[in-house]
């Protein structure tokens, strides 16, 4: 983990998406945060030790999901699948698919390759991430902590590395620069994630705070934008309970979702797992009284 001193910083943005407004001063106490997202290898150790079964590996309770489609009654998760060229109008419903048997061990389904050990774990809901954090003696970061950490000391900058998306033509994070969602210059097939630490660390020595996978926080979604999600489900017992995601993912692209920035935020139902959402942990630091 990396220890951060905390302090006051510029949170949010008035230059980008509505849910990031207003830009304001925020304060965080000193804290520690994982240098990388939790990997498949680390999550496997947790599962082997505790016998934990993730949400995506359990069959949904039909009473909790009135009107659920029959094929979603089997354990599974939501997977990105690039739509074929010339398939007609393209939108989120054409690239998100509920895949039976998809979960953290098989991110793209049981007929695809197993999870790569040094890639970030995905298909984890908020409950799964919280269970891991408790086992590890940590917790999930707040939205403010995640944004403070992602900025790496560049207060108010558009990106975690400055004001240019690709300084001197250099790709600084695992994002989808062109061709989304049909064609990617160097990804011909899954996995679309990359090994953690494949791109430069930010000013605080933290990796993948931008891109690769969205990351869960402990913060509840707020305001009218809290009702939006790319793949929302509603539970009978806790309708539209959403938490804030930070950091963007490998699916963020200039022509669709420009959320590869510290200020960016998204809202995910706590009971929805996907192939582009993971997490990292944080820990409070005791300060002398």
d(CA 212, CA 197): 10
The pLDDT of residue 88 is 64
The pLDDT of residue 89 is 67
pLDDT at 232 over 70: no
Phi, psi of 38 (to 5 degrees): -65, 130
The pLDDT of residue 289 is 61
**What average pLDDT score do residues 253-268 get?**
95
d(CA 95, CA 89): 11
Contact between 45 and 135 under an 8 Å Cβ cutoff? The reply is: no
pLDDT at 217 over 50: yes
The pLDDT of residue 233 is 39
**Which one has a higher pLDDT value, 181 or 216?**
216
pLDDT at 187 over 60: yes
* Tokens of residue 23, six digits: 């830009």
pLDDT at 178 over 60: yes
The pLDDT of residue 226 is 43
The pLDDT of residue 237 is 37
The pLDDT of residue 84 is 79
Of 88-97, 155-164, 226-235, 279-288, the one with minimum mean pLDDT is: 226-235
Measured CA to CA in angstroms, residue 131 lies from 43, 46, 99, 212 at distances of 11, 9, 24, 22
The pLDDT of residue 228 is 47
The pLDDT of residue 270 is 95
Q: pLDDT per residue over 59-115, tens digit each?
A: 988 888 888 888 888 999 999 998 877 666 677 888 899 999 999 999 999 999 999
The pLDDT of residue 87 is 64
pLDDT band for 131, please (50, 70, 90 cuts).
Answer: very high
List, in sequence order, every residue forming a beta bridge with 278; answer none if it has no partner: 215
Considering the segment(s) 2-284 as one domain, its CATH architecture is Alpha-Beta Complex (3.90)
């Amino acid at each position: 983990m990396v220890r951060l001193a905390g302090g006051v910083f510029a949170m949010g943005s008035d230059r980008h998406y509505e849910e990031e407004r207003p830009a304001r001063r925020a304060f965080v106490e000193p804290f520690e945060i994982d240098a990388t997202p939790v990997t498949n290898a680390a999550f496997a150790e947790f599962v082997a030790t505790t016998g934990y079964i993730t949400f995506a590996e359990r069959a949904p309770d039909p009473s909790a999901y009135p009107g659920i489609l029959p094929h979603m009654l089997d354990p599974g998760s939501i997977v990105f699948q690039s739509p074929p060229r010339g398939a007609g109008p393209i939108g989120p419903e054409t690239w998100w698919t509920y895949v039976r048997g998809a979960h953290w061990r098989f991110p793209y389904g049981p007929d695809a390759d197993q999870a790569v050990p040094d890639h970030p774990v995905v298909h984890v809901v908020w409950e799964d991430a919280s269970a891991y954090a408790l086992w590890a003696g940590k917790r999930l970061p707040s939205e403010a902590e995640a944004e403070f950490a992602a900025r790496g000391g560049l207060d108010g900058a558009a990106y975690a590395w400055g004001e240019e998306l690709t300084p001197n033509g250099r790709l600084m994070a695992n994002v989808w620069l062109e061709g989304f969602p049909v064609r990617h210059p160097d990804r011909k097939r899954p996995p679309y994630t990359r090994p953690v630490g494949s791109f430069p660390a930010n000013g605080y020595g933290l990796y993948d705070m931008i891109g690769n996978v969205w990351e869960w926080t402990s913060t509840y979604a707020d305001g009218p934008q809290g009702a939006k999600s790319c793949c929302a489900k509603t539970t009978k017992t806790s309708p539209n309970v959403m938490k804030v995601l930070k950091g963007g993912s490998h699916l963020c692209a200039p022509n669709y979702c420009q959320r590869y920035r510290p200020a960016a935020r998204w809202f995910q139902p706590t009971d929805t797992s996907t192939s582009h959402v993971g997490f990292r942990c944080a820990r409070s630091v005791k300060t002398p009284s």
